[in-house]
Chain A
Amino acid sequence: MSIDMSQFHQVFFEECFEGLEAMESGLLDLNTGDIDAEVINTIFRGAHSIKGGSGTFGFNEVADFTHIMETLLDQMRDGRRPVTQPAVDVLLSSVDCLRAMLTAIQSDDKVDTATVVIYKTALEIELNGSAKQSIPLESAVEEDDIETSDNEAEATEQGWSIAFSPYLDLLKTGNDPVRLFRELADLGEYTVAVNTRDIPDFDDLDPEECNLSWTLTVLGESTLEDINEIFSWVEGDCELDIQALIKKEAKATPSVKKDKPESSIVPVIDSLESLPASLDVVQRPSNTIPSSNTDVAGEVLVERRSGVSSSIRVDTAKIDALINIVGEVVITQSMLGLVGENFSMDQLAQLKRGLAQLERHTRDMQQSVMNIRMLPINFVFSRFPRLVHDISAKLNKKIDLKLVGESTEVDKAVVELINDPLVHLIRNSLDHGIEMPADRIAAGKPEVGTIELKAYHRGGHIVIEIIDDGRGLDKNKLISKAIEKGLINENSILNDKQAFELIFMPGLSTAESVTDISGRGVGMDVVRKNIQALGGNIEILSELGKGTIISIHLPLTLAIIDGQSVAVGEETYIVPLVSIIESVNITEDIINKVAGKGETFKLRNQYIPIIRMHEIFNVQPKDKLRTNEGVIVVVERQGVLCGLFVDELLGPHQVVVKSLEANYRRIEGVSGATILGDGSVALILDVPGLVRLSSNRLSSTNPSL
């Protein structure tokens, strides 16, 4: 019976990527010198299940590769090997390599074997180099003639002799030697001889102990790794001596005593010579690998995003809750059906109760369906420790990344789209925000800089803050740069907030030098555009020398927004609640005019321009005589306050956003439409668009409408 394994591939890949993420974050948590067994176990488990899975699915390259990582980790776990920074770096880069391999397999591409071999060699050197401990890494490479032999070439022509002496408790661990032998038999022609001399007298015999040992020979095209793979399950439960059988030349081959697994891998440094590039990697594993890998990681990320299908993992509790509610709805519906069948007026109360119940359930149902789309923001945040780790190493800065509120939930669509802007902002903070350690000490700050990534809910919004304690933004420098580039007028006077806003202008960068991390002056404007496209906004607070806070406000979901409906003449419009600061009743006497046209009113010592909705949308006011009585809704966008003059406030609504453009066109000042309770359509106002419309009107001497 053959099962189509490919149907499980998707799940396998998802699990692998999850495992890799767990490994990555574990590795980053690993404090060298101070080993937390639980962390290593987590990493080990990740590697182990990837190995198992890929073996099952026949992705042998992955399985082989992971096996080496696993061996290394196993030694760390047992405390037989110190956790060193180079080792962690090599493991991290191997995680990248594995990810690249899996991505390639997932998209049916060829695995880049050359790269894989480089990492594999680095891993093996790490494994053997520190197993001997006395030999430094460099000399391990130079002395390659001492310990090497071309295993694979030899093995293909000959075979292996294996002395397998299990410990007494082998059977108790659930391992059956017979299974191992069967696997060996698959490798080629094999013979087995059993040694029964250790069997005790029948009286002393414990049937649960294994008193046998075996001598096996395997002939044919198998490698030492194949054999090690088979015996990997019984590592630590047996004594194993694997010898290569030599037929032609009597060249010395390594005999690997394998009573403990640490020496199980014979170095294959020979292969290095055929790979000139890899030599470099191996000799300086602590520096080259992590930095050269940021690029690899970046590419992998891009590839992954273009992945085939999009699915989300949903907490079963959420689904259970939804099913519960659906059950309630069904009950309510049948109850209402009964009432309706023989309706008489005395059942009115029952009917009303039923309808109220239905309303409640519908609302609950809406909420739980929305909930299913919610993912913890950790999906985005979890990538940043790695980013910070890599970039700070590259920049020689010391940076501590703190994540706060990773479990804050946000809509899946938002999660997907917020990643790139956040990466950009964090890179900026790393590159420009945090100073070099020496500068920090000179400025009286702790040597290690801190970047805090914080997410929390506020109202119907999620707020993401990036807080660094770096050098902060230099307001004057920003302004002079902007004047130099002709972005603003020389005489303009800007307050702090407006000055920081300059950073979002295209073409403005205060960095003295352009690095490959940031400084080209493209980016912040794109970041803001992206965030606004998500219906959010971004703000900067900064103090020179103290640090910067960048806060991003995003709607929890893109499909439903909170809005305030307002009446303008006969029309109803929705103002997104996020942009409303407050609403003020207004009478004619508090309106001031500038040059007879521009109207303002004073709100707590600040003059705020008024936008008359009737005028810019050409709506007839209800009462033509009292055009100066109404409500001003004070809205804020991009740091600019303005007042929308409307007839009256109708009330807050949760509205489902519908696209106007699907059948129609984009309308300036309108971001979308929604359907009200009575079935009619109301437009959702786009505050920045309104501001643009209104300033266009004011600047044109001859209004076109």
Chain B
Amino acid sequence: MAQQSDTKDINKSHYHKEQDETSQYLSFTLGNEEYGVDILSVQEIRGWEPVSRIPNVPFYEKGVVNLRGSIVPIIDLREKLRIKFTDYTSLTVVVVLQTIDNEKIRTMGVVVDSVSDVITINKAEVQNAPDFGTKVNNEFINGLISVDERMVILLNVDKLLKLEEIEPLS
């Protein structure tokens, strides 16, 4: 994390004033789509490893793993975003993210197909996500941006990782 913020500082000094409005995103793929999360919320990137299942939780919460002594939940991003589930392979990657929920820092892992790049974007170029109606849930989406003619969907990590309340079984 510290290193990353350093790089950001260096970047700032290199660019002009208007680039104060830039930030860096880690981009990854889910199927053919490319997504990005704020790089400052990324703690580390790990390979997929089997999880311990947790009973009676939403299907996209895959389970928990032991991350150097702390118990960290793993969320399948494909399933969370309702994209067709594919089997995990040796290339499947877990991005460990930090979020703030009720002033408490949580660490969680999200399963993605692969990570691709670190992109620097100008906030002015971010386009708001269009309203897809009920077809697509866009509450986790911060906006869309075009990088080398590819569309990258920027995700809001805090909203994405906010756990839904489980209704008690009744």
Q: Which A residues contact B (CB, under 8 angstroms)? A: 571-572, 616-619, 658-660, 662-665, 667-670, 673, 675, 679-683, 693, 696-697, 700, 704-705
Contact between A663 and B71, CB atoms less than 8 A apart: yes
Contact between B56 and A668, CB atoms less than 8 A apart: yes
With a cutoff of 8 Å between Cβ atoms, the chain B residues found around residue A704 in the complex are: 169-170
Contacts of B57-111 to chain A: CB distance below 8 A? 57, 63-66, 69-73, 106-108
B54 within 8 A of A: yes
Contact between A663 and B65, CB atoms less than 8 A apart: no
Contact between A667 and B54, CB atoms less than 8 A apart: yes
With a cutoff of 8 Å between Cβ atoms, the chain B residues found around residue A683 in the complex are: 52, 54-55
Contact between A663 and B73, CB atoms less than 8 A apart: yes
Cβ 8 A contact of B66, one of A618, A670, A680, A693: A680
Known A571-B52, A673-B64; contact A667-B71, beta-carbon cutoff 8 A: no
A628 CB to closest chain B CB, in angstroms? 21
- Can you list 16 residue pairs at the A/B interface with Cβ under 8 Å? A572-B52, A658-B69, A660-B71, A663-B71, A663-B72, A663-B73, A663-B108, A664-B72, A664-B108, A665-B166, A669-B56, A670-B54, A680-B66, A681-B71, A683-B52, A705-B169
Contact between A663 and B107, CB atoms less than 8 A apart: yes
Contact between A696 and B170, CB atoms less than 8 A apart: yes
Tell me the bound Cα distance from A49 to B56 in angstroms.
61
The 4 closest A-B pairs by CB, nearest first: A617-B55, A681-B52, A664-B73, A696-B169
Q: Which residue of B lies closest to A682 (CB)?
A: B52
Contact between A667 and B56, CB atoms less than 8 A apart: yes
* Best-surrounded residue of A619, A670, A673 (most CB of chain B within 10 A): A673
B106 CB to closest chain A CB, in angstroms? 5
Tell me the bound Cα distance from A20 to B63 in angstroms.
53
With a cutoff of 8 Å between Cβ atoms, the chain A residues found around residue B53 in the complex are: 571, 619
Q: Which residue of A lies closest to B72 (CB)?
A: A663
* Best-surrounded residue of B50, B51, B53, B57 (most CB of chain A within 10 A): B53
Contact between B52 and A700, CB atoms less than 8 A apart: no
Contact between A681 and B56, CB atoms less than 8 A apart: no
With a cutoff of 8 Å between Cβ atoms, the chain A residues found around residue B169 in the complex are: 668, 693, 696-697, 700, 704-705
With a cutoff of 8 Å between Cβ atoms, the chain A residues found around residue B56 in the complex are: 616-618, 667-669, 693, 705
With a cutoff of 8 Å between Cβ atoms, the chain B residues found around residue A617 in the complex are: 55-56
Q: Which residue of B lies closest to A613 (CB)?
A: B55
Q: Which residue of A lies closest to B99 (CB)?
A: A663
B149 CB to closest chain A CB, in angstroms? 38
With a cutoff of 8 Å between Cβ atoms, the chain A residues found around residue B133 in the complex are: none
Interface of A, helix, strand, loop or mixed by DSSP:
loop
Cβ 8 A contact of A667, one of B57, B70, B108: B57
B163 within 8 A of A: yes
Cβ 8 A contact of B168, one of A663, A668, A670: A668
* Best-surrounded residue of B54, B70, B72 (most CB of chain A within 10 A): B54
* Best-surrounded residue of B50, B51, B106 (most CB of chain A within 10 A): B106
Q: Which residue of B lies closest to A659 (CB)?
A: B71
Contact between A660 and B64, CB atoms less than 8 A apart: yes
With a cutoff of 8 Å between Cβ atoms, the chain A residues found around residue B163 in the complex are: 664-665
Contact between B168 and A673, CB atoms less than 8 A apart: no
Q: Which residue of B lies closest to A694 (CB)?
A: B169
B17 CB to closest chain A CB, in angstroms? 39
B148 CB to closest chain A CB, in angstroms? 35
Contact between A664 and B71, CB atoms less than 8 A apart: yes
B40 CB to closest chain A CB, in angstroms? 18
With a cutoff of 8 Å between Cβ atoms, the chain B residues found around residue A675 in the complex are: 66, 69, 71
With a cutoff of 8 Å between Cβ atoms, the chain A residues found around residue B64 in the complex are: 660, 664, 673, 681
Contact between A669 and B73, CB atoms less than 8 A apart: no
Given A663-B73, A664-B71, A680-B52, 10 other A-B contacts at CB below 8 A? A572-B52, A658-B71, A660-B71, A673-B71, A675-B71, A680-B50, A681-B71, A683-B52, A683-B54, A700-B169
Q: Which residue of A lies closest to B165 (CB)?
A: A665
Q: Which residue of A lies closest to B52 (CB)?
A: A681
With a cutoff of 8 Å between Cβ atoms, the chain B residues found around residue A660 in the complex are: 64, 71
With a cutoff of 8 Å between Cβ atoms, the chain B residues found around residue A659 in the complex are: 71
Cβ 8 A contact of A669, one of B55, B66, B72: B55
With a cutoff of 8 Å between Cβ atoms, the chain A residues found around residue B57 in the complex are: 665, 667
Contact between B65 and A670, CB atoms less than 8 A apart: no
B131 CB to closest chain A CB, in angstroms? 30
Contacts of B36-58 to chain A: CB distance below 8 A? 50-57
B62 CB to closest chain A CB, in angstroms? 12
Tell me the bound Cα distance from A619 to B55 in angstroms.
8
A429 CB to closest chain B CB, in angstroms? 37
Tell me the bound Cα distance from A673 to B71 in angstroms.
8
B3 CB to closest chain A CB, in angstroms? 23
Q: Which residue of A lies closest to B163 (CB)?
A: A665
With a cutoff of 8 Å between Cβ atoms, the chain B residues found around residue A616 in the complex are: 55-56
A478 CB to closest chain B CB, in angstroms? 30
Cβ 8 A contact of B170, one of A618, A667, A700: A700
B95 CB to closest chain A CB, in angstroms? 15
A658 CB to closest chain B CB, in angstroms? 5
Contact between A667 and B168, CB atoms less than 8 A apart: no
With a cutoff of 8 Å between Cβ atoms, the chain B residues found around residue A664 in the complex are: 54, 64, 71-73, 106, 108, 163
Q: Which residue of B lies closest to A618 (CB)?
A: B55
A158 CB to closest chain B CB, in angstroms? 65
Tell me the bound Cα distance from A662 to B104 in angstroms.
9
Contact between B168 and A681, CB atoms less than 8 A apart: no
A668 CB to closest chain B CB, in angstroms? 7
Q: Which residue of B lies closest to A673 (CB)?
A: B71
Tell me the bound Cα distance from A100 to B17 in angstroms.
62
Tell me the bound Cα distance from A618 to B169 in angstroms.
13
A704 CB to closest chain B CB, in angstroms? 6
With a cutoff of 8 Å between Cβ atoms, the chain B residues found around residue A680 in the complex are: 50, 52, 65-66
Contact between B55 and A670, CB atoms less than 8 A apart: yes
